[in-house]
Structure 1
């Protein structure tokens, strides 16, 4: 039923990568026994669907890499913002769908090299062809939970998750290095960057293009002017997160090949 729901929402996948959990392995054995018993009638259908199912090695969750890190980050914060809250099936389904929307709204890299384009590429573009948005809601983070109705309590949990998760995502994008060194990504005029701002509503990312860099006497830039949809902002580099571009992606892929 999980696979049916996934295909109904996202379409039929070409490949499914799965960890070696016991429930998945047991299900695979049951399916294998079924296919042996009814191979003639099912084989033609399976061949037509062309879905490959790949298991990672046992006790090796790091083979999941990117998606395992995303699942870990989401589970870590969901458990803490929910706590001992009792939710119905409909409420928890709604919460998980909204958490999914937050994760799929994160900016990955610029959509174009135009200095007037502030839109990034996000996982939502691969899923629905455009950025994932959310309905506006009042600020409920500071409200007392006991004074809220159930729908408002669910919205408060979503806002708490957004506050915790998006700060962690931004901190992972920032390279921590000594100011006297030039390790990590070097900002250039026209780069699309993510600004670290406080009290942003869920699924809202403050993006802009670097307009000017201010270098110190040692030649190291520490402040930049960033053009945004709300005007030009001056921010220290500690509040600016550069997004990946084509060159950095190729460099990371090359370095990963060297490590292997």
Structure 2
């Protein structure tokens, strides 16, 4: 999608869901271009504008480059959904799906993803309801049940509505198998480590560098969060006589030397 197409998609989203207080995304080129065309780039640098728009309108917060993991749950949901859809559509073939079949199928996929529980299911009979994203979005606790009948791969060559239900069933089975393991506790980042500080020497773990190239730089600015943890830094590097500054997550840096520890 180019910036114009994304703006139209954003307008469709806001027209259906209503106004949003905040939009969070990665640094996709279409997002950046749309943000500039919508005259929202001042939000990132002007604190007064940010506070005003937070109360009256909408702010757009970008994750630092090369840090999709900072998207947390939404990036995980997108990643799982994309993997399943890629494998399914590669097998089915895009030429077999009409536009109406595809958008109906995507609506079914959205309903499946939004029906996942957000909290552990209670065994208390006084609280039989399950809190899901769909509950928050629609203010309704009931879900749309699938049509009666059996749907399998043979229905891909049948009527359009049966094609959609066959695809939705396939996505549901794959979704359960790939989503449930993500609910297990993660073992990463269980131990506290010192924050990166200005003047620290770091090495950038850039996957695009050439062989035997070890890019190093100095931290010139840190961005601590509300909890005091630094997850984003500004690194200055020097190469071929020119200096450049990059914004990177701490997960893509390796601390080599800290002036404070050398004292």
- CA shift for structure 1 position 79: 1.6
Quick check: 1:78 aligned with 2:85?
yes
- CA shift for structure 1 position 170: 2.4
Any residues of structure 2 matched to 1:90-105 within 5 Å, and which?
90-105=100-115
Task: Tell me, yes or no, if the aligned pair for 1:19 and 1:61 is still in contact at 8 Å.
Answer: yes
How far does the alpha carbon of each residue in 1:23-76 deviate from its partner, in whole angstroms, 9 at most, with x for none? 2212223333999xxxxxxxxxx7985101111112221111110110011111
For 1:28, the equivalent position in structure 2 comes to 35
For 2:178, the equivalent position in structure 1 comes to 168
Query: Could you list the runs of 5+ residues in structure 1 that have no partner in the other structure?
Result: 36-45, 177-255
CA distance in structure 2 between the partners assigned to 1:96 and 1:104 by the alignment? 12
| Superposition RMSD in Å | 3.4
- CA shift for structure 1 position 152: 1.2
TM-score by length of 1: 0.56
CA distance in structure 1 between the partners assigned to 2:63 and 2:100 by the alignment? 33
For 1:16, the equivalent position in structure 2 comes to 23
CA distance in structure 1 between the partners assigned to 2:167 and 2:65 by the alignment? 35
- CA shift for structure 1 position 116: 5.1
- CA shift for structure 1 position 6: 1.2
Quick check: 1:51 aligned with 2:58?
yes
CA distance in structure 1 between the partners assigned to 2:229 and 2:129 by the alignment? 33
- Indicate which of 2, 9, 13 corresponds to 1:6: 13
Label 1:145 to 1:28 Cα distance change in 2 as closer, same or farther (>3 A).
Answer: closer
Task: Tell me, yes or no, if the aligned pair for 1:106 and 1:122 is still in contact at 8 Å.
Answer: yes
For 2:73, the equivalent position in structure 1 comes to 66
Quick check: 1:143 aligned with 2:154?
yes
CA distance in structure 1 between the partners assigned to 2:40 and 2:61 by the alignment? 18
Query: Could you list the runs of 5+ residues in structure 2 that have no partner in the other structure?
Result: 1-7, 43-52, 187-226, 232-263
Quick check: 1:106 aligned with 2:116?
yes
For 2:248, the equivalent position in structure 1 comes to none
Number of matched residues?
171
CA distance in structure 1 between the partners assigned to 2:18 and 2:175 by the alignment? 28
SS of the aligned residue for 2:154 comes to coil
SS of the aligned residue for 1:54 comes to strand
- Indicate which of 106, 123, 130 corresponds to 1:120: 130
Any residues of structure 2 matched to 1:245-260 within 5 Å, and which?
none
SS of the aligned residue for 2:102 comes to helix
Label 1:104 to 1:257 Cα distance change in 2 as closer, same or farther (>3 A).
Answer: farther
Any residues of structure 2 matched to 1:180-195 within 5 Å, and which?
none
CA distance in structure 2 between the partners assigned to 1:70 and 1:33 by the alignment? 27
